[in-house]
């Protein structure tokens, strides 16, 4: 039976036209003009772009710039895709066959897990501990892998919790993968969005020989509209994914490649990451203040990274009812925890312009206040 992508379905059905949207996972996106100015691109060169098919595996210079972010990688280890979304699909298509299984960690953004389930492949979950800062029990990972485990899938930093794996957790996951010869597919789209440190989350690339890493321009760089991502893998797997990319999309778009190539030049890239972290840090402070307006209602394990907080609430409604009420009564959109299989939580994105963020939080607290009065 078809497994829908619960989070994306909720978003695509409700987010268009909503006034106070806190359901996205990235930072406030940039305009084309802001990006052109930040990168110092010549606008005339952009006008002169020939809207032909671009290089199918991605411009060479862009792949070199991406490879430079992964120790020991070269441009031959990189395939440029239409967002990390396509990269996830290619990986599912390339690494997993009928009879294989995959291990993943819950709560999870189910892009890879859902896709894999729709291919008839079994997904086994290890639950992160909600009462212990969403930690992962290394023993549970080791106990869950078996001879059928072909992939262990991590999202690091995690969506929806914003948690970054500790060194011990990484070691545990690598040991479990090595025990059965599984691949680690590491979705690192939130690397660079660290809230509590200036250190970028260390990639899994280079820690183990069977690693595929995914990333994109959507989160740390604030450019989701480019729909441009990549995967980094051993050369044979890059070639295998490339063959499937020719079916899936042929190539990312010409304009996106031009813009992403400029954005990935080191000076511009660092400026984009700094912008994202600034928005994330101030946004989280504003959110934290607002969550204290009604004491005892909200609690959150502060995210190590990302614009998102996965907020626990104590109210006499389930998460879907709360989210739909906020949407209907106050034009505010958050994602209910149910879409991640976790009740009494919602996901809230706060790396947004200050006045817009404050108004939505005021509206949210208004609804909560009314609910508390009727309890
Ligand atoms: C963990 C994770 N992976 C992949 C994606 C998709 O990213 P992209 O915009 O690059 O397709 C998202 C988007 O929310 C995400 O949260």
pLDDT tens, residue by residue, 168-191: 999 999 999 999 999 999 999 999
Task: Assign 375 a pLDDT band (cuts: 50, 70, 90).
Answer: confident
pLDDT the model gives residue 232: 99
Q: Are the C-beta atoms of residues 126 and 140 closer than 8 Å to each other?
A: yes
Domains and CATH numbers, the chain: 6-31+269-368 (3.90.1150.10), 50-264 (3.40.640.10)
Q: Are the C-beta atoms of residues 200 and 214 closer than 8 Å to each other?
A: no
Question: Is residue 111 in contact with ligand 1, taking CB distance under 6 Å?
Answer: yes
Question: Is residue 101 in contact with ligand 1, taking CB distance under 6 Å?
Answer: no
pLDDT the model gives residue 374: 86
Question: Is residue 260 in contact with ligand 1, taking CB distance under 6 Å?
Answer: no
What is the mean predicted confidence (pLDDT) over 217-244?
98
Determine whether 108 is exposed, middle or buried from the number of CB atoms within 10 Å of its CB (0-12, 13-18, 19+): buried
What is the mean predicted confidence (pLDDT) over 87-91?
98
Q: 298 Cβ partners below 8 Å, 6+ apart? A: 291, 292, 311, 312, 313
Q: Do β-strands 149-155 and 122-127 pair in parallel, antiparallel, or remain unpaired?
A: unpaired
pLDDT above 80 (res 38): yes
Q: Which atom of ligand 1 is nearest to the CA of 228?
A: 10
């Amino acid at each position: 039976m078809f497994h829908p992508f619960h989070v994306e379905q909720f978003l695509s059905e409700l987010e268009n036209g909503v006034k106070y949207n806190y359901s996205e996972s990235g930072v406030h996106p940039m305009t084309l003009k802001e990006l052109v100015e930040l990168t110092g691109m010549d606008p005339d060169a952009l006008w002169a772009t020939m809207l032909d098919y671009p290089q199918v595996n991605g411009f060479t210079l862009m792949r070199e710039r991406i490879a430079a972010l992964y120790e020991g990688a070269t441009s031959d280890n990189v395939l440029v895709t239409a967002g990390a979304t396509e990269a996830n699909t290619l990986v599912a298509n390339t690494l997993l066959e009928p009879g294989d299984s995959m291990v993943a960690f819950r709560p999870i953004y189910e892009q890879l897990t859902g896709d894999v389930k729709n291919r008839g492949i079994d997904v086994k979950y290890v639950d992160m501990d909600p009462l212990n800062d969403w930690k992962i029990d290394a023993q549970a990972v080791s106990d869950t892998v078996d001879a059928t485990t072909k992939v262990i899938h991590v999202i690091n930093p995690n969506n929806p919790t914003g948690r970054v794996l500790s060194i011990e957790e990484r070691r545990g996951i690598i040991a479990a993968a090595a025990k059965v010869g599984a691949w680690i597919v590491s979705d690192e789209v939130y690397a660079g969005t660290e809230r509590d440190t200036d250190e970028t989350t260390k990639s899994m690339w280079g820690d183990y020989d069977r690693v595929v890493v995914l990333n994109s321009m959507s989160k740390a760089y604030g450019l989701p509209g480019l729909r441009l991502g990549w995967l980094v893998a051993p050369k044979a797997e890059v070639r295998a994914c490339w063959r499937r990319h020719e079916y899936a999309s042929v190539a990312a778009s010409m304009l996106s490649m031009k813009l992403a190539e400029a954005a990935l030049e080191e000076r511009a890239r660092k400026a984009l990451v700094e912008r994202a972290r600034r928005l994330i840090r101030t946004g989280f402070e504003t959110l934290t203040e607002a969550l204290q307006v009604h004491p005892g209602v909200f609690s959150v394990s502060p995210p190590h990274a990302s614009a998102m907080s996965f907020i626990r609430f104590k109210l006499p409604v389930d998460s879907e009812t709360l989210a739909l009420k906020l949407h209907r009564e106050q034009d505010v959109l958050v994602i209910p925890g149910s879409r991640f299989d976790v009740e009494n939580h919602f996901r809230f994105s706060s790396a947004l312009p200050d006045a817009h963020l404050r108004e939505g939080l005021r509206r949210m607290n208004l609804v909560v206040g009314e609910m508390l009065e009727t309890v």
